[in-house]
């Protein structure tokens, strides 16, 4: 099955699972993986703009936080906030582009497993997040060894589809002024962008949504 066909099947499977009872619970590990991609988006953007990325925290409720420090300007602060919002989309498209040929699927799974291990060592600082990421890394490592290339390719496309759709699944967050992280309310990323720049938070939420859609469409066109 070609990459685009795999993507269509995977996307339909994700959407259908979301619609069934307890569907979101079934995809809970992938929801946390999307949170991981979101927080890594903040952290990597912070590093790329000259700030320090201190730690990544994941919570059992699906929320997370990237702790960074530095003295960035207003535009850089906005970029770091936006980096988290687009992180899952970029991660999903990256997986799609790397797994266009099934013979590379197991290598991509093994590489992803290794990257998770590295991020645990460098940035994961809470027990739940570390245990979850280590479990996912072990699962992906085993999948790389045991699965056929076709099944491994489907798994990668399923993960990629979930990441690419996460912004849509959490569309309300883009247009919210607040986020709740481990039960504590704080400004949402859209609100942080609005505070750093101009115009209301819902405007920036719309910009990020359109940008994510454009990136996803571009990535799909390349599969």
Residue ranges covered by each domain of the chain: 3-166
Q: What is the pTM of this model?
A: 0.93
**Which sign, positive or negative, has the C-alpha torsion 79, 97, 124, 51?**
negative
What pLDDT, on a 0 to 100 scale, did the predictor assign at position 219?
Answer: 81
What pLDDT, on a 0 to 100 scale, did the predictor assign at position 12?
Answer: 85
> In terms of C-beta density within 10 A (0-12 exposed, 13-18 middle, 19 or more buried), how is residue 67 classed?
middle
Residue 37 Cα distances to 3, 172, 199, 205, angstroms: 22, 18, 27, 18
Give the integer Cα–Cα distance in Å for 161 and 215: 13
What pLDDT, on a 0 to 100 scale, did the predictor assign at position 60?
Answer: 94
Residue pair 175/190 in contact (Cβ under 8 Å)? The answer is yes
3-state secondary structure of 198: coil
Closest CA to 222 of 108, 99, 109: 99
| Mean pLDDT per 10-residue segment, the chain (223 residues) | 74 84 88 96 96 95 93 92 95 89 90 96 95 97 94 92 86 90 92 94 95 87 76
Q: What is the DSSP string of 61-77?
A: TS-EEEEEE----HHHH
What pLDDT, on a 0 to 100 scale, did the predictor assign at position 1?
Answer: 56
């Amino acid at each position: 099955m070609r990459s685009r066909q795999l993507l269509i099947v995977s996307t339909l499977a994700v959407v259908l699972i979301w619609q069934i009872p307890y569907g979101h619970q079934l995809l809970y590990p992938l929801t946390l993986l999307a949170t991981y991609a979101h927080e890594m988006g903040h952290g990597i953007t912070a590093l790329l703009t000259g700030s320090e990325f201190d730690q990544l925290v994941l919570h059992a409720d699906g929320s997370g936080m990237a702790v960074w420090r530095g003295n960035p300007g207003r535009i850089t602060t906005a970029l770091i906030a936006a980096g988290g919002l687009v992180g899952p989309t970029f991660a999903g498209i990256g997986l799609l582009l790397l797994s266009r040929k099934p013979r590379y699927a197991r290598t991509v799974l093994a590489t992803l497993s290794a990257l998770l291990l590295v991020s645990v060592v460098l940035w994961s600082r809470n027990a739940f997040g570390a245990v979850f990421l280590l479990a996912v890394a072990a699962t992906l490592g085993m999948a790389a060894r045991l699965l056929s290339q076709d099944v491994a390719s489907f798994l990668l496309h399923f993960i990629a589809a979930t990441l690419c759709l996460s912004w849509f699944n959490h569309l309300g967050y883009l247009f919210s002024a607040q986020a709740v992280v481990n039960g504590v309310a704080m400004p949402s990323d859209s609100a942080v962008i609005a505070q750093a720049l101009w115009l209301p938070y819902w405007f920036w939420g719309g910009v990020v949504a359109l940008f994510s859609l454009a990136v996803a469409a571009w990535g799909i066109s390349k599969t």
